[in-house]
A and B are shown apart, each in its own frame.
Chain A
Amino acid sequence: MFTNLRAITMTSILALGVFTAPASAEDIKIGVISILEGAFAALGQDGIRGAELAVAEAGGEVAGNKIEVITMSSDASPDSAVNAARKLIEQDGVDIIVGPLSGSEGLALRDLSKSYPAVTFLNGSSAAQDTTLRDSSDNFFRFGGDGAQWMAGVGNYAHDDLGYQKVAVVAEDYSFPYTQVLGFMTEFCAAGGSVPDKFWTPIGTKDYSSVVYSIPSDVDAIFVALGGADAVNFLTQYNQAGGDKPIIGGSITIDQSILDSEGPFKKQLIGAPAGTPTVSDLDGTEWKAFTASYTEHFPDGFTAPSIFAHHYYMSAHAAVLALEEVKGDLSGDQAAFRAALSDLQFVTPTGGTMRLDENRNGIVDNFVTEVFEREDGTLGNRVVKIISDVDQSLGQDPSAFLAQGPVSRDNPSCP
């Protein structure tokens, strides 16, 4: 049944390809999908900048073939990401898609990519685990980590260096925080720590009082995997209620905008560790060069590239490098191009070496950061540990890691 659908879709794509063939012989079209509406619009815009930067650095062409970038917006919902991808493929005739931004969108595009074997999908910044770990798709590549890889090092650091034994979890109730909690708990539980309680809150929750008062009093710290306004609301309410447990942050919990906001909860964050693949003021030559190039191309962008610009850049950069290797040849359902992508190695803006595992997921370097107080009283994040070569099974045996089952509210568990 499915093969039939596939055959029909394939023939229809081929039929469409006949009409668009003259244009695509010279131009290579890259479609970029990011969130350009709603609460994430400013961040999604930065993702687009990252992809455009990679193309601009290549001079907008590869081996004499002009690269055309076509952008399309989604609104964080899987449906809109799928509609955007279909429009890019069927109407604009793109060869490569870079995107999307958020976790559930990534899962939807992974499913969609199986229906379009002639198009190569390069993940943007979406970081759900199963996008590449389970049911992976031959033409879906992720030059970056998932949410669990982004937490590498934090569990061990919390247990061994900070001496925490019991940690409660407060996180948003969807795929990306699940993956982050898994990344933290895998290390923390293996090191001998326990997580007696997990609190899953709907995204956009305003009143956390029921959670604040349910946190057991005998825990050593709280792992908070909330983003943006949710993190500010929770931390403020926890502080106002007299809570004094130390905080451990997820990858998007303690960003600079939270450290710059006003409120007494800030004092509580000093010393809080977090895991992230992107440190905005990293002290490395590659990162400094990347930041300089970013600010030169986009004077109206952020002061430093965000995690989104960083990841979209890596994907688009990988596409450009692989295209250079095959001299822009995308014939034969892009077979040569994909082989080049699979074997690609390049130095990332954070100084590590990016390469893919057999599921086409990145093996990455990750940072454990810590909040510190600068001399002028403002707060910043500084790197305390670099974990190199983090793969998707977090250093475990891949088949044993898979056997633990898909990540969910209740998996993993170590009460």
Chain B
Amino acid sequence: MRTAFYLLPLAMAPLFANDFWLVQILGRALSLGVIALSLTFLAAYLGVVSFAQTTMAGVAGYTVAYFGPNTVDVGYELPFYVILPLAMIMATLSGALIGLIARRSQGIYAIMITLAIAVAFFYFTRQNYSVFNGWTGFSGLRAPDIAGINLRAPVPFYLLCLGVAALSLVLVNGFIKSPLGLTIQAVRDEPKRVLAIGIPTTPVIVAAYAFAGFIAGSGGILNIWLQERISSFSVGLGPIVDILVIAVIGGLKHPIGAFIGAIAFVLLDTFAVDFIDRERFNTLIGLVLLAIIMGAPDGLHGLAKSWLSRSAKRPAKIKT
């Protein structure tokens, strides 16, 4: 019910928003939000901050680029109904692999190990020409046509992003209530007690990372359809930090925070240069982010929630 309450106005957006807002603002925010959601999921339910979510998204993106239509003569073209499942499988596997490597690490060590993997992947894509086409990467990537509708046309692309975002939110909410999801949260809180009742923690942690890889992969595919290109820059330190920033300003406690953060981030990233002297716009972005983090330690979602609960309480006070 509540999901429909949020979804309805969003689904109506094509009626009043122009193409720029649909694709460059909302579409971009939703696809970044899906990648950030995978980070929020790991942070909230496994208690691990992973810097490797952009890498998992990049694996899906590179799979689509290598096996899909591109203009750089690298790769092998397959039909899209083979590419998409393949890309999701690759992203899930990459998540599982990263989880396997990082399974014993927590806190700052998990950050370091996932960051190391992400940066290693970035340099690998930049140096390898046979699969990743190095510095230049892939361009001319087109989203497929399904039933005569091009998925990259503004309205279909926006609705697709909205659908994927809603679906992944539902998926995350369902997953955390499943036995496996509950075990993941148990591992977060008391790994020793989980072990003591006879459940090995490694498969549970790997499963959590693999699930995060699946979510990040779907965001990654949307993102390269939006950009119509992918290169080593797309998996570099900049995008890695962007995803972290999105997740943190949105709020790491609830999955919806990823999308709130993504909208705030994309708006800032796009329009800051219009509000302030062009040499200083990064300062403005930094100051706003700083203000959000200082004023709302639980992110924008936490802030909104506390405002809502405060305004809900006030009428109650008047009654007494």
Interface residues of A (CB under 8 A from B): 1-2, 4-5, 8-9, 12, 15-16, 19, 36-37, 41, 45, 48, 71-73, 75-80, 82-83, 86-87, 90-91, 104, 107-108, 111, 135, 173-175, 202, 408-409
Give bound CA distance, A91 to B228, whole Å.
19
Give bound CA distance, A140 to B279, whole Å.
27
**Cβ-based interface call for B6 (8 A):** no
B142 is contacted by which of A1, A15, A16, A87 (Cβ under 8 Å)? A1
Query: Can you show 17 pairs from A to B with CB atoms below 8 A apart?
Result: A2-B142, A77-B236, A78-B233, A79-B231, A82-B227, A82-B228, A83-B24, A90-B18, A90-B24, A91-B20, A91-B270, A108-B139, A111-B140, A111-B229, A173-B135, A174-B136, A202-B127
Asked, given contacts A73-B273, A73-B281, A77-B236, whether A174 binds B20 with beta carbons under 8 Å apart, the answer is no
- Is B233 touching A87 in the complex (CB atoms < 8 A)? no
- Is B278 touching A409 in the complex (CB atoms < 8 A)? no
The segment from B38-46, B81-89, B147-155 found at the interface with A is: B147-155
**Cβ-based interface call for B307 (8 A):** no
**Cβ-based interface call for B185 (8 A):** no
The secondary structure that dominates the B interface is mixed
- Is A78 touching B71 in the complex (CB atoms < 8 A)? no
What residues on B are CB-neighbors of A45 within 8 Å?
279
Minimum CB–CB distance from A103 to chain B (whole Å) comes to 9
What residues on A are CB-neighbors of B282 within 8 Å?
37
Minimum CB–CB distance from A35 to chain B (whole Å) comes to 12
Nearest A residue to B236 via CB reads: A77
Q: 1/0 per residue B218-233: CB within 8 Å of A?
A: 0000000001110101
A77 is contacted by which of B153, B238, B270, B278 (Cβ under 8 Å)? B238
Give bound CA distance, A79 to B238, whole Å.
11
**Cβ-based interface call for B77 (8 A):** no
Minimum CB–CB distance from A37 to chain B (whole Å) comes to 6
**Cβ-based interface call for B301 (8 A):** no
Asked, given contacts A87-B270, A111-B71, whether A175 binds B135 with beta carbons under 8 Å apart, the answer is yes
- Is B136 touching A12 in the complex (CB atoms < 8 A)? no
Nearest A residue to B280 via CB reads: A36
Given contacts A77-B236, A83-B24, 16 further A-B contacts (CB under 8 A): A5-B152, A12-B19, A16-B19, A16-B20, A41-B279, A73-B273, A76-B233, A77-B231, A78-B229, A79-B229, A90-B18, A90-B20, A91-B24, A107-B136, A108-B229, A173-B126
10 closest Cβ pairs, A-B complex: A77-B233, A90-B20, A174-B135, A8-B153, A91-B20, A12-B19, A111-B139, A71-B278, A5-B150, A79-B227
Give bound CA distance, A86 to B19, whole Å.
11
Q: Which of B105-154 contact A (CB under 8 A)?
A: 123, 126-127, 129, 134-137, 139-140, 142, 145, 150, 152-154
What residues on B are CB-neighbors of A16 within 8 Å?
18-20
Minimum CB–CB distance from A15 to chain B (whole Å) comes to 8
What residues on B are CB-neighbors of A108 within 8 Å?
139, 229
Interface residues of B (CB under 8 A from A): 18-20, 24, 71, 123, 126-127, 129, 134-137, 139-140, 142, 145, 150, 152-154, 227-229, 231, 233-234, 236, 238, 270, 273, 278-279, 281-282
Minimum CB–CB distance from B162 to chain A (whole Å) comes to 18
B233 is contacted by which of A15, A19, A79, A107 (Cβ under 8 Å)? A79
What residues on A are CB-neighbors of B135 within 8 Å?
104, 173-175
What residues on A are CB-neighbors of B273 within 8 Å?
71-73
Minimum CB–CB distance from A408 to chain B (whole Å) comes to 8
Minimum CB–CB distance from A153 to chain B (whole Å) comes to 27
What residues on B are CB-neighbors of A107 within 8 Å?
136, 139
What residues on A are CB-neighbors of B140 within 8 Å?
111
B231 is contacted by which of A1, A5, A104 (Cβ under 8 Å)? A104
- Is A202 touching B126 in the complex (CB atoms < 8 A)? yes
Nearest B residue to A111 via CB reads: B139
- Is A12 touching B154 in the complex (CB atoms < 8 A)? yes
Minimum CB–CB distance from B47 to chain A (whole Å) comes to 32
Asked, given contacts A16-B19, A79-B227, A82-B229, whether A1 binds B145 with beta carbons under 8 Å apart, the answer is yes
What residues on A are CB-neighbors of B136 within 8 Å?
104, 107, 174-175
- Is A8 touching B150 in the complex (CB atoms < 8 A)? yes
Nearest A residue to B239 via CB reads: A79
Nearest B residue to A91 via CB reads: B20
Give bound CA distance, A5 to B69, whole Å.
14
- Is B233 touching A86 in the complex (CB atoms < 8 A)? no
- Is B137 touching A78 in the complex (CB atoms < 8 A)? yes
Give bound CA distance, A77 to B150, whole Å.
27
- Is B19 touching A173 in the complex (CB atoms < 8 A)? no
Give bound CA distance, A87 to B137, whole Å.
23
What residues on A are CB-neighbors of B231 within 8 Å?
77-79, 104
What residues on B are CB-neighbors of A91 within 8 Å?
20, 24, 270
Give bound CA distance, A78 to B236, whole Å.
12
Minimum CB–CB distance from B267 to chain A (whole Å) comes to 12
Nearest B residue to A175 via CB reads: B136
What residues on A are CB-neighbors of B281 within 8 Å?
36, 73
- Is A36 touching B126 in the complex (CB atoms < 8 A)? no
Nearest B residue to A6 via CB reads: B150
Counting chain B CB atoms within 10 Å of each CB, the highest count among A5, A174, A175 belongs to: A5
Give bound CA distance, A72 to B127, whole Å.
29
Give bound CA distance, A213 to B135, whole Å.
26
What residues on A are CB-neighbors of B278 within 8 Å?
36, 48, 71, 73
Give bound CA distance, A101 to B320, whole Å.
66
Minimum CB–CB distance from B122 to chain A (whole Å) comes to 11
Give bound CA distance, A45 to B278, whole Å.
10
Minimum CB–CB distance from B153 to chain A (whole Å) comes to 5
Counting chain A CB atoms within 10 Å of each CB, the highest count among B129, B135, B279 belongs to: B135
Nearest B residue to A83 via CB reads: B24
Nearest A residue to B20 via CB reads: A90
Nearest B residue to A92 via CB reads: B274
Give bound CA distance, A108 to B227, whole Å.
10
Give bound CA distance, A330 to B270, whole Å.
27
Give bound CA distance, A361 to B126, whole Å.
28
Nearest B residue to A77 via CB reads: B233
- Is A173 touching B127 in the complex (CB atoms < 8 A)? yes
- Is B24 touching A86 in the complex (CB atoms < 8 A)? yes
What residues on B are CB-neighbors of A79 within 8 Å?
227, 229, 231, 233-234
Give bound CA distance, A175 to B136, whole Å.
7
Give bound CA distance, A113 to B74, whole Å.
22
